[in-house]
Amino acid sequence: MIIPDTVIMMHCAKPGLAGDTAMNIICAYPVNIDAVYNVRGEEISQFTQSGPAPKIKSELKGSIGSRNDLISSLLFCMQQGSGAEILIESQELAEQIEASFPWQFRLGGNAGIMASVLASIGARPVLNAPALGHRLAGMLHPDVSIPVSGILKEPSLAAGEPELDKEAMHFVFQFKKGDAVSAPDNRIIAAGDNRFIATYDPVNTSLKTNADFDAYCLANAGEFDGALLSGFHLAPFEHYQEIFPARIAQIKSWKEKNPTIFIHAEMGSFQNPEIMQYLLPRLPVDSLGLNEDELALAEGSFSSWSDCMQAVKRLRKRLGLFRVAVHTRDYILSAILEEKITATDELSALQSGADAAAALAATGSAKGEPPLEVNSTGLEAKEEFCHNGATKAGRGAFFNSGDEIISLMPSLLAKKPLITVGLGDTATAAIFFQELKAINGKRNLIS
């Protein structure tokens, strides 16, 4: 949970958004509790070697139908140094997993994390929260707004009994480079810092919305400056074609009422590449964010920053978007059209995102002091970018190519991260906030 040192209660029950000087931002769709476990090799090794069950191998499963599936997928992610999010098949198994590890609980869900980050830096986010119990409400920043019967309430006043037996919970296994697990005939050593997420969450996997949220956002669409959307990756393969049309229609309805609203969609670890290929050309958004694995699913694998840049450029042009960005462990890279903001504004936004994510990793708070060391691989990418004609600007660099601006910002290095979950969401929220400020500033100058 990211909360500033001082919190000023601004809107316990405001009737609407009109006249507010803060930027009003829709945040949807998932919010949940994250149960976080820092992997201890000896504890995981017990599951790989005990009992009469078959030996557990390192393998990424399509879904989690047993605890063995969970351990197999975790071992695979550790071995690869990669992240993944996979659905648990039953509530009974989810309860078994919950009972198997010592968890720490904190705010989770892309929309919930991004809303809290936005609130902490001065925006006014309106959040979809269809299953909001008191524990989850207490994890949200108090300046996040929840629509209730046409008015906005802070989370603690909006909370009620969740629609499920208990609030949605995602199980997050954080591991660090060098963490080791003894498996049969093998020893798995984590190739990098990352996390594996196991999820049982019927509310968020169906991208369910609260009726009060739907009505409020439509009625007040003209008062919103932006919308930050995520969670599409949670839709199961069997039902995504039933789930997406309603959400796509909802986004279109906001655009129809407010053509100037700036909408960013953040991708995630899709269960099947086919889901993302279906979704991307249909999303009525201005901006798209992905990590390197998701970009590879969309545009094919790549091995260097320059290949990554070409993939980002291809994807933006193919989808006809204003902006596409990829955030990797080493750098953030974006391709934008030269129409809404300047190259300097975009680089400044990317730097704010890199700083916020690094501060969260290093200190546990996005408002903490970010580490000073710049990622060496990202720095090398920037130098090569400049050798190819890019212009240095602060910690990053940009290149103008016709009506397109390519920007690259190296990440900062948190050598002993306290947190590896939510870093992308934190960077995305901070970047979006700065971009929206620049867009609004330019719009005000023109008007």
Q: 267-303: buried (b, 16+ CB within 10 Å) or exposed (e) per residue? A: bbbbbeeebbebbbeebebbbbbbbbbbbbbbbeebe
List, for residues 28-45, the tens digit of each pLDDT value. Answer: 999 999 999 999 877 787
Confidence of residue 22 (pLDDT cuts 50, 70, 90): confident
Confidence of residue 54 (pLDDT cuts 50, 70, 90): low
Containing H/E element for 189? Answer: strand 186-189
DSSP assignment of 195-215, as one string?
EEEEEE-HHHHTT---HHHHH
Query: Which pair of tokens denotes residue 213?
Result: 């949220």
Q: What are the percentages of helix, strand and coil residues in the chain, rounded to 5?
A: 40, 25, 35
List, for residues 304-361, the tens digit of each pLDDT value. Answer: 999 999 999 999 999 999 999 999 989 999 999 988 899 999 999 999 999 999 999 9
Phi-psi region of 208 (alpha: psi -120 to 50; beta: other; left: phi over 0): beta
Phi, psi angles (nearest 5°) of residue 288: -135, 135
The pTM of the whole model exceeds 0.75: yes
Whole-number mean pLDDT of the chain?
Answer: 89
Domains, the chain, ordered by start: 35-106+164-200 (3.30.1110.20), 290-447 (3.40.1190.20)
Give the model's pLDDT for residue 287.
98
Neighbour count for residue 165 (Cβ, 10 Å): 7
HEC states along 226-288? EEEECCHHHCCCCCHHHHHHHHHHHHHHHHHHCCCCEEEEECCCCCCHHHHHHHHHHCCCCEE
Confidence of residue 161 (pLDDT cuts 50, 70, 90): low
Say what the alpha-carbon torsion angle 19, 21, 25, 31 is, to the nearest 10 degrees: -100
pLDDT tops 80 at residue 76: yes
Q: What SS3 state is found at 167?
A: coil
Residue type, 402: G
Q: How crowded is the C-beta side of 272, counted as CA atoms within 13 Å?
A: 12
Say what the alpha-carbon torsion angle 139, 140, 141, 144 is, to the nearest 10 degrees: -160
Beta bridge partners of 153: 13, 146
> Which residue is associated with the tokens 């700065």?
434
Query: Which pair of tokens denotes residue 95?
Result: 């309860």
Say what the alpha-carbon torsion angle 384, 389, 390, 394 is, to the nearest 10 degrees: 80
Query: Which pair of tokens denotes residue 201?
Result: 């969450």
Angle at CA of residue 223, ends 218 and 227, nearest 5°:
70
CB proximity list for 95: less than 8 A, separation 6 or greater: none
Burial class (CB in 10 A: 0-12, 13-18, 19+), 115: buried
DSSP assignment of 289-300, as one string?
EEEHHHHHHHH-
Q: How crowded is the C-beta side of 10, counted as CA atoms within 13 Å?
A: 19
Q: What SS3 state is found at 380?
A: helix
Containing H/E element for 323? Answer: strand 323-327
Query: Which pair of tokens denotes residue 435?
Result: 């971009």
Terminal-to-terminal C-alpha distance of the chain? 38
List, for residues 233-281, the tens digit of each pLDDT value. Answer: 999 999 999 999 999 999 999 999 999 999 999 999 898 999 999 999 9
C-alpha–C-alpha distance, residues 67 and 69, integer Å: 5
Mean pLDDT along residues 379-385: 97
Long-range contacts of 3-11 (CB under 8 A, 24+ apart): 3/116, 3/120, 3/141, 3/142, 4/120, 4/367, 7/141, 7/142, 7/143, 8/143, 9/142, 9/143, 9/154, 10/143, 11/124, 11/143, 11/145, 11/152, 11/154
List, for residues 128-140, the tens digit of each pLDDT value. Answer: 999 898 889 999 9
C-alpha–C-alpha distance, residues 293 and 184, integer Å: 29
Query: Which pair of tokens denotes residue 379?
Result: 């720095």
Query: Which pair of tokens denotes residue 333?
Result: 């890279």
pLDDT tops 80 at residue 218: yes
